[in-house]
Each structure stands twice: as structure tokens, then as C-alpha cells.
Structure 1
Amino acid sequence: MEGAAGVTAVVVCSDGARWLPRLLRALRAQDRRPDAVVAVDAGSTDATLELLAAARQEGLVTHVVELGRRTGFGAAVAEGVRAAPASGWYWLLHDDCAPAPDALGRLLGTGEADPGVALVGPRLVGGPDGRRLLELGTSTTLGGRRSTGVEPGEVDQGQHEGVRDVLALSTAALLVRASAWERLGGLEPLLPLFRDDLDLGWRARRAGWRALCDARTSAWHAEAARHGLRPHPSPGGAPLVAERRAALLALLLDCGALALPQVLVRAVVGAVGRALGLLLAAAPGSAARELLAVAAVLVRPDRVVRGRWRRRRTARVPSRELRPLLARRTGVVRLVRDAAAAAVAPAERGEERGLAAEVRGTGLLVAVLAVVALWPLRDLLGGALAGGPVGRVPGSLGALRGLLVDGWHPVGLGWAGVSAAAEPLVPLCLAALAAGGSPVLGAGLLVALGVPLAGLTASLALRGVLERRAVRLWAAGAYALLPAATGATAGGRSLSALVVVALPVLLRLAGAAAQPGRRRSWHAAWGAALLLGVLAAAAPQLWTALAPAGVLLALLALAQRTRAGAAAALRVALVLVLPLALELPLLRAALDEPRAALAVADGGTGRSAPWELLLLHPGGPGMAPVLLAAPLVLGALAALLVEGRRAAAVRTAWLLALSGWAAALTAAGAHSAGRGPWTGPALAVAGAGVLLAAATGAEAAVVRLRARAFGWRHPATALVAALALPVPLVVALLWVGALPVAGTSRSPLRAAEPSLPAYVLADLATPDRPRVLVLAGTGTRLRWAVERGGGSPLGGDPSREPAAARRAAAAAVQAVASGQGGGAARGLAALGVRYVVLRAPVDEALRRTLDGVPGLTRSGRQEPDGVWEVASGRTGGLSARLRVTDARGADLAAVPARPVGAVARLAAGGAGRLLVLAEPAGPGWHAALDGRPLAAASDPVARWAQAFALPASGGRLVLRHSAPAVRPEQELRLAGAALLLLLALPLPWPRRRSAS
């Protein structure tokens, strides 16, 4: 072997004194020693330089190059090569590796045997005794998962002897042909530590060279950088972030052009999956680092473009020919496994403590709650839900958008402008986006999964607040089964369910914002204000329930008379004020009618007595017996006896509970006979305070009673615990019907069915755009609504319908219900009503009355609902949205229309004709015939309706509503300022240095 090509070993050191002696011994023991050994030190502060000086004095090391502390591995190797004498091969060595005595001889022999070989490396082993296999070459999936060719923990028993082609090899003990090194330009400078070996092998393969793993020899490797064993940070940052970033960057630099989109998608999905796993394990720091690692690459696409352009000079082999060398794709199961592994893997800064147990406990809790919540709805799954507010969700995201921003709302009789009732649709839009753009699916998922999601958010929010895992899981389960949560699910209240789910996160953020001197408290204030702004749109009652507690906390912070206290008070004020500025229509409605501040968008009416509200019972379906909450309140009362550091937490929890109770009692007392708005959101706040106080008291009692001799406190505490601990279990058994009293027996939810007969729905979609008058109840207590085929959607605002149109509709309904003559049918036709539907259970007296009304004829089946059609002709008019009439109001023809405007061709006719639109008149309507504007007129029959005077000539008609839903300028300015302030809160503002 003495006549073989020269070899220069390049040893890179970085605070490696604990491993370097083993490497130096391995170099002395080589059967074929390197011709030169160049040691490159990257700013070591331990005894590394002393060891290298001794080896140089001995003659083992020929050159020593000293570089800066943050120098990457590739840059260090490049400096070592420059200082090395001319050689045919470079042997790259880490300071934490130790090749076997025959390593260089075997690797050199393998490389010299084939001129097409550029890279040769041994099998890598690890462990104290070197018996654990680490690598047999490296590869990667398109998802960035590194493949080493061995199973995790596999023992080296000589089972992989031989030489094999691989995509790449580790740079620990890697032999590189000097000509290939020069042509490839060395290691990639964008990869200072991790995945530089993969990139080098990939480029060599694309250039036409081979990379071989000679498993007949080995090298021991400590993998110090990957395991974070270096005493100072690596040049790529924290190992977790650096390796994730390097994996994605190497793929983007080297993969084929057709694989780039797949790599990007898999990288983002994988990062989100791992981040969710870490969030489930309550390790937000590691979750953020996972996302930051991907973001650090995606925000600099210019580096990828330049790097791929450089590779074009050496690429000779198509990317598709390297596919067999890539690791197998990562399927969905592997992605889930990786996310779970990330959740329980050791994280930085001690976050790994108890994560595995936390994941198991939280996962079991959520699974049990999911079974409990879905069991009563098992017959309804697989389709849309009906009954309750969830059945009135608009069917598309476009319909939601229209209710929010359009100038004219084709709902009921129709109305123009912006309504406070549309504000609750903002959180529903977010739920629809999360459900793939379907509001119906988003609302249904909130209803069906509200209970388990509430348990999940409560468990995550309580981590760090409650120390004992068992107490934390009990509190989370009890919160998820509060009457407010079960009532939201059983009653079909999707927006209320969203409030209950998000409330624990909101309280955790608000609590962090209220603490003086807490790190990232301004970020917490930003999150709390943004979340409260979204939730207050769905339930203004939530803001009312949190405001008293927030004001008192701000005053207490100000009472400290410190700069930190004043800052905390300011943050609390921002949390309370900014949502009001973002929801100005709700604020204006509350100023006009104070009861609006106590409303819930989908809550309906509550009927609970004050003492029931004090026991957290808002009323409605899905409620456990009222007295079942008494042990929870008793436990919270007992917690007031707590002393020491937990006493402040108990008092804060009680402040929250009292604030929620005050809002609930005020809402119930604001209406007569206790029939106020549903108080679920306010009682969710009160219940969260009660449970937090009870759980904090339980933790304190365990510690305090263990330190005391047996006394009366022990049996008293045991009695309270015996009463309170089974409450969640009893509620769950009641919910699924395992106990005699079924908690959801009165739920209005049912499988969604067509709200109207199919032939009626088909007729409503014709160009005539007719409508339906829906009647319910009896003749003495008759309820009515004008529908356009989609039911009465959530977000509709009957109060915005013009009074004249409401009076005309009420008169027509009264005429029909009283059995009057042909004028009743004509009044319905003027409203555009073609069908009258009497909802089941049908009042027989009212059915007989409708049968006797001239101009109404029975239509289709009469079960379960009764259906009548409004006849056109002598007793009635044309039931169409847009009609042409003569000067006396007699109908001449129906005109095809759109949901809001119309574009149609009109025939010529006599003078004095009118174009009548069955919509309330307003300044936003404009019509033109062949480009000539039409003057507004008054219809002699429906004086409330929009009408235009028509000339005798015909032409192309264009009808539109041009008044957009624009808020007042002052509102826009204030909301814009609030939004800018809200966006500025999380920015990294410079901190003021203390005088010291």
C-alpha cells in the first residue's frame, strides 16, 4: 500500500477534548497511516489545542489551523484542504470519531479499484462498546426523514459485511477523491453542520461519480452535534432547529424540479404535524422551533435559487436515475408516528419531563370525552344536523360573506346595510375555513366535538397552573362537562360551543397579560385581545362576563404603584377595549339597547331561576340535574380557606366566578319572567372560576394535610372530595344514558332533511324567484316568516326589515289566517309568495281556515306539513320577485330575476307600465333600460315595494343594488386604529434598560 496515492487527513475540532484522545490513538494505530494530518480548530476553549500541540510535537499532526468559534464544518474542512499538501485523497475526520485500525487501508483500496468512485466511507458504530450500528450510508425521503440503512438500536454482529452503493455517507471518516472535491467545490456553505454529507453525496452522484459504503471496516462516532453534547451552540443554531432547517434546505437544493412542490408540501405538513404533537404534550417552545425551522428556509428562497443554479454546472445525471437511492416515502401512518414521537421525544430546556405521561393522560381524557359527546348523536353522524341554531347555518361560505359585506341581504323580506346580527358570522367563517370552506360542516363539528375539544383546551391551559396531573385532568374533564358545554352541544349552539372551547385559552392568555413583570406579557395581551374580539362577536355576553374581573385586576395592578403594575393594568385595559373597537356595530347596538350586551348569537331563550344560575345551570336540553353542581361550588368555597402562595390564585378564580355569575344574573333579570337570553357563555366563565378555585384548593389541601396531625380537617376534606370528584363521571353517565335520567332526552337536534318539499324548492330556484310563507303554531299564537328557500339563516336580522314591509306582510298573514277573500291571495302575491306552508304539528282549525281562503289551493302531500299554492289570475297576482304591471297595479308579466338584481329583455307595451320589485324600496336600487335610467315610482298595490316607471318601448333591463354595506367613516377609522394597535402588540419593541 505504500505506493498508493497520497492521503491527507483533515481533522475538524470544536471543544472536543473529551473525544480527541480516542481519535489520536486511532490514527496512531492505522495500518496505513495518512501522509499528512491537518487539524483545524474552531475556537475551542477546552484542552483541544493542548492535545493538538502535543500530537504535532510527536509528529502525528503535521499542520494546525485555528479558526473562529462559529465556523461551520464545511468552512473548516475547506481551510484544512488549503493548508494541506497536494494529495490524491482527503480523509475527513470529526474530533468525536475513531476509525478502526484497518479503516484507511480498506477505504483507499476500495476507492482506487474504481476511478469512478468519489466517496468511500465505513460503517459507523456507536455506544460505549461500539456495538450499536449507526449508519451504512445515508439517504432521505422527500419528507426530509433521514435514513441510515439500519434499524434503530440494531447491534453490530457483522451482518452487513460488504461494499454497497449509497446516495451519501457521513463525513465522519469519509474518504473523498481530491479531483471530485475540487470539481464539486467542497461542502455546501449553506449547510454549516447538518446534512452537508447528504448534499455532498447527492451532488457527486449527479456529477456521475459513485459513493460506496465499505462495511468491512468501521468507525466509532459519538454524534456529539446531533445530541447537543458540545459545550457551546453549534454554528447552525439549536440542534433541533438546525437539523430540521438543514434537512429541508438540502432537499430543496438537490431534488429534481418536478419534486419541488411535493417537498414543500411535505415539509410544511410534517412541521405542522410535529408541532401539533408537541402542543398536545404542552411543549410550546419546541413546537415553535419546529415551525421556525421551516420558516427560516421558506423566507429566503433566493438562497435556494442560487444554490440550484450552482449545481447546474456539475450535474450530468438526471434526477430520476437517483430515485432508487432515496429512502421509501413517508406515509400517513409514519407522519402520525413522527408527530407522536416528537411529542414525547426529549426536548430542550427540560420540556421533556412528564411529556409522555401528559400525552397519555390528555389523550385518554379527550378520547373518553369524544365517546361521551358522540354517543347521543350516533344516529345523526354522517350528515348535516338540523334543529336548534345549527340548522340555520348558511349553506356556503359565499352566503356567509354576503351576510357580512353585501349591501342588500336577500333574507326574509330583505334589508339593506350592515347589521349587528351579522357580526357573529365572523367566528363562523373561521370555523368554515377550518372545515374546508363548509359552514354547515364547521358548525356541525363544533356541536359534535365541542365537549372533547373543551377538555383538550382546558388540559393544555391548566398545564403550569396546576401542578398535579391528576387534579389537572379532573378539572379539564369537569370543565368539558359543565352544563354550559353539554347544553351547547345538545342545543345545537355551534357558536356557544366555540366560546366554551376557546375560553380556557383566552383565560390563560389574559392571566399572563395581567401578571406584572411576566415575560412575553404583551404577546399574551395581543392574543387575548384578538381572541376576545372574535368570541365577543358570537357572544357579547362573554365580554360582559369578563369585564368586571378585568377592571378589578387592572385596579389591583395599579394599586401596586410600580411601573410593572401600571404596564399590567394597561395590558388588561387593552384586552378589554380593543375588542370593542373591532366590534363597533355590537357596541352601537348595546348603547341603543343595553340588553344586546347580554345576548348570545345562537343562544335562544333561557328559563333558569337565579338559584339555578348559581349552580351553573343555564337551562335547556343536555343539562344534568341542577344539584349535581353543588359539590363543585362547595369545593370552591372550601378553597377560600387556603393560605400561602395558592391563596392569591383562589381569590383570582373566585373573582372570575363572581364576574360570570353577575353577567348571568343580569341577563336573566333583564327580561320578564326569567326568560332572558341563554346564559351559557357567562356560566362557562363562572364554572371555569369555580373549578380553578376547587382544583387549586385540592392541591393545597393535599400538601397541607400531609404535614398536619389527624384532625377535623381531614374528614371534612375527604367529604368534600367524595362529593366533588365523581361529578364529571356522573355527568358523563347521565349524558350517555347509562343512568336512569338521560341528559339529552330533550335535545332538538335531528338529521337534516329538506325544509320544504322538493318540488317547492325546485320552484323557488326558477327565474321567477318566488317565496314561501311559513306558518307555525295556532290561530291565536301564530308565528310566521317569509323564506326564500334556505330557511331563516343564522345572522338574519328581522329588525332591519323596513317597517312598511313588515306591516304589509303582517296584514297579509292576518288576512290569510282569518280566512278573508281574494285580497289575501293578492297580498301574498305582492310579497312574491307562491306557497304557504303550515308546519307540523298542524292546527286542524287553521288548516280548515286555509282551505277556505279563495286563491289558495292544496299542493302535494299534506304530511307532516300542510302546503298551499297561491293561485294567479282573477283572485290573485303573479307570485314572482320581479313583475311588470299596468298603471292600476294589475300584473302583466313576470320578469326573470337574480337573487339580488336582474338582467332581462323586456317587450314593448302600453304607456304607464310599472316594473315592480317585491323588495322594500330604498335609495340603493337602480334600473336602466337600454342604458337609460328608469325613474322610481310608487306601486298602487304594494306601496312598500320598489317600483320603476317603464316607457312603452322595450329593451335590455339591468336592475342592481349599488349601495355597499359600508360602515360609518368614524367606525372605520376607530376600527382601523384598533386593528393597527392590535397588530403592533406582538412586535419586538426595544426594552428600556433599568438604571442599575
Structure 2
Amino acid sequence: MPARVHAIIVARPGSSARAQLLRTLDALRAQTTPPSAITLVMCGDAAGVRESETVAGLVEGIIEARHGTSFADAVELARPRVAEDASLWLLAHDTAPHPRALERLVGSLERSPSAAIIAPKLVQVDDDREIVSLGVSMTALGRSVELAAGELDQGQHDGRDEALGADIRGLLIRSEVRDDLRPDRALAGADEGLDLGVRARLGGGRVVLTPSARISVSPDGPAALPSGRSRSAFVTRLAQLHRRLSYAPTPALPLHWLALLPLALWRSITHLVGKRPEAVLPEWGAALTAMFRFGAIARSRRSIRSFRTSSWASITPLRVSRGELHRRLDDGHGSEGGALSELHFFSGGGAWAVLAALVVSVAAFTEMLAWPVLGGGALLPLRRTVEALWNDAAWGLRGVGVDLVGPADPFASVIAVLGSLWPAGPSFALVLLWILALPLAVLGGWFAATRVTDRAGLRIFAGVVWACAPTFLTALVDGRPTGVLVHLLLPWLFHTAVVAHRSWGAAGAASIVFAAVAACSPSLVPALLVLWVIALAITLGGARFRGAVRLLWLPFPAAALFAPLALWQQSHGSLIAVLADPGMIWAGPQASADAAGRLALAMGFPTVDLGGWLSVLPAPFGFWAGILLAPLAVLALMSAIAPRWRAGITLLVVALLGFATAFLAVGIAVSFAQGTPVAVWPGAGLSLAWIGVTGAALVTLDTMLTMPRIRLLGATVAAVAVVVSAAPALLSFHLAGDERVLTNGPDSTLPAYVAAQAAGEQPIGTLVLTPQNDGGLAAEVVWGASETLGAQTTMMSTATNIHGSDITDLSVDLLSARDFDAAGELGAEGISYVLLATTPRADDRAVALNSAAVAALNQRDGFVHAGTTDRGELWSLQEDASDRGSLTAGQHATARTVTTVQLVLLIAALLLSIPTRASRRAARAQSRIVGRAPDEPLVLPRHPDDAEMDAVAESRELHASDSASAAGSADGPAPEPTNEATDESEQEEKR
């Protein structure tokens, strides 16, 4: 006698759901073996279905439940209506069984006495040739794995007759075990069929697959996973953790519980490395939820224990091994070894260009090879230990001023990274940076060019032009570390940001470089944000919403670095001070806001000496240096009408924003050097403009000048002109003599005696007093062995009010006739030394103030004259100074919070940027060129043998041409030329 079957249908209200329900009921009516009874559980208002004649004619009972009732809860509500001897068939309103589905399910149930659950083959409702699910298993760690899903049904899995579990939709549960195998409501809609299969296996039963029984399903029904990637990830992970706690042996249960949060942290890291940042929050949400579901875990474990008759070893044969899982996940995506996936850095000449730049750099800065520390301009030594470097990069006590507590400049983090590359002597890292700057610039320009052109020669052209930029060479010669670093970082920002919408790896890398560029030059942030908004608009305009989400991530690490400083400046001064140049503020040569300065900026030079040309040629002739950059500018302007005009116009917008930034920067003075206002360095804006001009010129050369000889001529003229314009700057290090800015050292800006006492970065305070030519006195406090680059802070360089403890009155009284315990007050502030620094280019008033200061300090009690040094006159206190102040408990808490938030975002960006095998395959599947026109021909790299083949072909063509000419002269006029491609440019495009 055939087994009785009671079908339970779980449905939700809605017009589309109603249509699907009627389709399901029609499919049940058409069954060759119809179910004995049908119960409908409506999760919501059931008034509409009660009025349906189809429902009334087939359904024996309708149960109305709350709207949010889960599939498992709905099945539980209908269970009392099922007869004792009836098997249970679990359906939803979107599951339409094929006509013989139930007949075949019941047949399998009768043929397999050991079968507790019979599972059908689920197929797509719109295409029954695509398998949705046929059996589910799990790994040793409990991860559920579909045995067949998303495949074209060719009968390849029909030989499998058993699985560990199956999708819960369409399961037929034997009547004898029906009350023991109930869907676990704590699973929240995921892995319910797998859990039923595991418990059936532990109870001595089996999950038998019946591929011939087919049921069409939709992806959004009551029994399917929730819609939305985050919600689906949360439910899936919660189900996995719940099953792990339910299945674990009792002694191991506390260990599993304690491991939930550490495991969530580890998996968050793997999600970021695997370019799945959207899974991080669901991971933590699932872990926290699973931790406190003690009642649900207890019920699940009790249910398993009451039905279990077999050991857990019975599960092992049906698990998925690690090797099999890797084979399932490896889809072979990507064009491995394809022509577009190769950079050809070595074969294309990029490596030779970098090597040549290194030779030029060594020749230009020969003496620098023997220098341990680089000085001059805006350069300062670095801290002597890596730990001190990173302390300067954290929120806390600053290395200048007295009791000045607050956020570090983001530039301090860049300096900490740079100094950590040479831990034995961090200051030597700046020497290496200067020597390697030219080859690094060529390398960055070459890689940035890979986003614009496939031609090896044009990539080398871009590297050379980028390294010879006037603003870059000026920053090198004048000793401006921020300008050098910005110019070296911008090509990498371009290289990663233009493809950030494609992958999380590129977005993560771009966000890190974006933060580094902003840290070195905050004045570039407005222009970069405008470009970011434009990129978002272009991406959204192309309906690439996932790409827009990736682009949204770009400014987050930079915002985390700048937020504490911005809040501090907003509450203590002016928010515009955030745009101030970091590091040492140096009133060196730079273009001003007058007509001559703006003319120099318009020509691409950040100083009025036009890259050293005015020191070589008289002024009327020196201004012709700007003409040398005209060929490059003309090529850039032509990109607006090139075949790839969209990319050309975008790059011209980049150039326009760079020039606008430079023009605005020279008119903004928010920093002070010894009381003198100093305008923002315009070179950073010119570097941004230079990358736009260079990129636009590449677009023209690559797509508009199609004839190879014309392209070669244009690139050669532009490159030679740029190289000639760079000659005075490259030669200035040798020709300037004593007037050159870069110097050997110093190791410390303080006298050697103080530096020795502060060895190991001891917090020894030195009051540095500098007489000014205007009759004033500059006072600052330096902590440690030297004033360092990473310890500088814009909180002091932009200050218009006193920050920290005020020492101005004490400094003035120290040199006056006032009788007071000066040594005691200095010692109370933690200051041990007083240095009367030598004034550069001192006039009479500064000399007079210096003499009076020496006399006053020599008469003060408690001071010992330590001698005359190359830094000035030094005095020390007779008594030991008090220890430097420390942070309060509240300040410690603020420091920990700020550091934690910044580290979390930076580490997240770093993990996202780490390439994986899958991300590399995905990147190789797309062209490196951004903005390529659809009808633009590809320029594939040529094999070395192609040259020989071309030579043979050309010789044959010449021979044929000579023969035709001879025949024509003998027999008549030569024939008309055909339409075949004989032009050299067309031959190249064909090749």
C-alpha cells in the first residue's frame, strides 16, 4: 500500500507570491500520485487565499501566522494536523513539483527502508535545465557545501543516491521519524535541510537522493536564504556557528564558545584578504548572536541526544574533504598567460629605463652616497629608534612645546614607515630616498602609463617625463621631503584609483596611497575629493553599483588619519589650518602670489627661478624655459579630440584641478616659520597637474598619432624638451657649490653634548631661544636628542595662540633684569638645557639681543655655561629637572581609542590590498587600459620572431613590387593600387 503523504505549504502574502502559490497548487493537482492532504500556512494576511476557489478545492486547512514567522516555525504550526501514519512533504509557495515528483519520492521511500529523508532535484523555475540543489554536505569545520548547484543538468549527478543533507525545500520525511526530525528554528533559515540530514544519520537513517523527482523553485521564497548579501552572509554564518555548538562534544563546548570572538577576528582578516569586506559585519553579528543563544543551543543538543543511536563517525564518509572543496571553488576564471595580462616590464624596456635613471641619480648626487644624514631646506633628522618614530605618529605628548597633548600629523605616520625601512639608522632612509628618487619616479611613471597605453616606448616616455617634472626636481634640490614623496606616490594613486571600481584589491591599495598622498600634502585633498566625486558619478552613470561601493571606501583611511587633527584644529584654531604643509616649515624659495609667481606656475615651475634657468641665463632668455614644455602641453590638449577623448578630457580635468590647487596654494599662508607667514607649497598641485598633462599626452600619442614615424617624432621632441628643461636642476648639486641647499647632516639640531645626554631618546627638554632680526625672540622647546621631522606638528606651526604650557613670559624674563628662580621654574617644566641659537644672517638688532642674552644668562643663579657650540651658546641647569609630564587617564583612553580606530581602518585597507590568486585572475581577465574605446584596436606585444617574419614578408613584397614594375614598364601602365593595407601604420595595427 503506498505511503500516505501530507504536504505542508508555507506561503507569504503578495501578488507575485499568490501567483506562485496557485502554480504550486496546480502542480500538486497534476501529480500522478497526489498527496493525501495539503495544509497551507500563510505567514501574513490569509484573507486573499481563503477566497480562492483553487485553494478551497485542494487545501484541507489554512493556518494564518504572523508575517515574520520562519519556515521552521510555520511547519511546526501545521504539524498537529498531520496524521500519525503520514509522511511529511515540505513545500513553499514557490516550489512547483513536476508531475511525477511525488510518485518517485514515495517510490524511493518504499524501496529504501533505511531512508529517513528523501530529497528531490531542485531546478530553476525559469529554466529547468539548471540545477539549483541536489544534495548538501559539509566540511570538517562545519561549512555547508552544495554538491550540485548552478550547473547545467546533463544527468551528470543522477548516479549519486545518498548525501549528508539536502535543501529543505521538497524534502519528504518518513512518518516514523517525523516527530524526531523537526527543522531547527534557531538556524534562522539556513542549513535546515543539512541539519535534518545530520540528525537523521545519527539516528541510523539516511538521506536518499532522487534526481528523477524534479521540483522547480524560485530564489526568493519562504524557505530560501534571505535576499541581500549581508543578510544572507549573517544567516549562513549564524547557522554554521549554531551547528558547531550543537554538534560539539560536551567537554569541548566551552572551548568552542570561547573561540567565537577570536575566530570572528581571524575570519574578518581572511574576508578582507579575500576581498569580501561586506562579510565582516555579518561575521561579528553572527558570532555575538551565537554566543548568547544558550536556550536554543540547549534545545538543539537535547534533540540530537534524544534521537541519536549512531556515533559521529558515521558522518565522516559523507563530508567534503579540503581537496574536493578547493576543486569546487576553483572555477578557472581569468585569462592566465594572456597577452593583456603581461606587463613586459623587462622585455619592454621599463627595467632599463629605471636602471638608467639610477645611473643619472648617482651621477647627480654623487657626494650624497657617503652622507649618513641629509640636511638642508625643510629636512630634519629622524628619531634614532623605530619605537620613537611610531610614538611620534600616535596621539599623545608632542615632541615640541611644553605639555602639548593632541593628535599627530598624518605625515608622521609616513615618516615612521619610511624610517622603519632602515631601523639601524632611520635618518639614513632619507638619504636613500633622495638617491633612489629618480629611478622610483621613472618606475611610478611607467606603471601609471600601463593604464593608458600598451606601447612599450610610450611607457618609457611617461616614466622619463614624470621623473623630469620641474616640481619634482625643485623639491629634490631644495630639500622638500613632502614634495618628493607626493610626486613619487601620485603615479601609484593613479595606477590603483582608476581601477578601484573593478576590485576590492585595487580599492584597498588606492585608499592607502590616497591616505599617504593626503598626509604628505593636505592641500591636495580638495582636488582629490573632487576627482573622487567625478569617479563616483561616472561609475554610477554606468550602473556599476558594486563599483561605486568600492570607490566609496577610498577616502576612509585618510579620513581616519585626519579626523583627530581636524577636530583639534576646529576647536583650537581654524579648520583651514588642516591644509597646512606638514613637517618643518621652511621659508625657502617658491612662487608667490604676484604676477611673476603665477606666470611661473602657469609654465609648470614652482619657483620663480624656473627650475634653475634664471641662474644660468639672463632673465629675458631664462623665461624661454617654459617654451621647452610647450610640446608636451600641445600633445595634452590634442587628447580632447583624440579617439579616446573621454580619457583625454578626464586627464585634462585632472591637470586643471592641479593648476587650480597650485594657484590657490600660493595665496594661502596658514603656517609660520619663526613668526614669518609661509604660503602653502604649490609644487604638490603642479605634480597633480603634471600627471594629468602627461597622461593626456599619452592618450594623444597612443590613439591620435597613428603613423609610427609621426608618433616617434612627437614623443621624442616632447621628451627631449622636458629633459633639457630639467638639466639645470640635475646639475645644480655640483654647480651650486657652497650655495646649494642640501648638506651633509646634521645628526642633531642640538649641541652634541645635549644629544649625548638624550641618547636612547630620553625625554630631556631643551629651551631654544633665537634672536630675530626684527628685535623679537623666538622660543621653542625640543624634547630628546634633536628636533626631528616626525615630531613636527601643524598644531604648533599654524598656531596663532599659545598651545600647551606658555613659556613666552618665562623666556622673556629669563633674559631680563627680573630677579626670580628661573632655573627652578625651567626645571619644573622638565627643561634641562637652554640654547641661545645662532641667528642666520643676523643684523645689528639680532646681534645686540644675542649679546644681552648671553650676559643675562651668565648672571642667572642655577645655570652653568656649558660652552660655545656650532649651534650657539649652551647652558645647563645645576639641579636635575623634573620628569616630563605624562598623560592623564582620560588622555590615555582617548589615545587608545584614536589609535585603535586608525589601526583598524588602515589594517583593513592593507588586507584588502593584498593580492590573492582569485584577485589576480580577475585582474588578468580585464584590460589594463582604462577608457579604451570599443572600436579601438588592441596593441599586443610582439614576439621576437615577429621581426624576422616581417623582414621576410617585406622582402617578398619588394620583390613582387619590382616584378610588377618591370612588367608594367614592358607591357603597359602599372595597375591601380588595391585596398589592401600598405601604409606602415596599418601594417602595424594588423600585426
What's the TM-score once normalised by structure 2's chain length? 0.49
**Higher RCO (CA 8 Å, separation ≥ 6 residues):** 2
- Relative to its length, the structure with more helix (as a share) is 2
**TM-score, normalised by the number of residues in structure 1:** 0.49
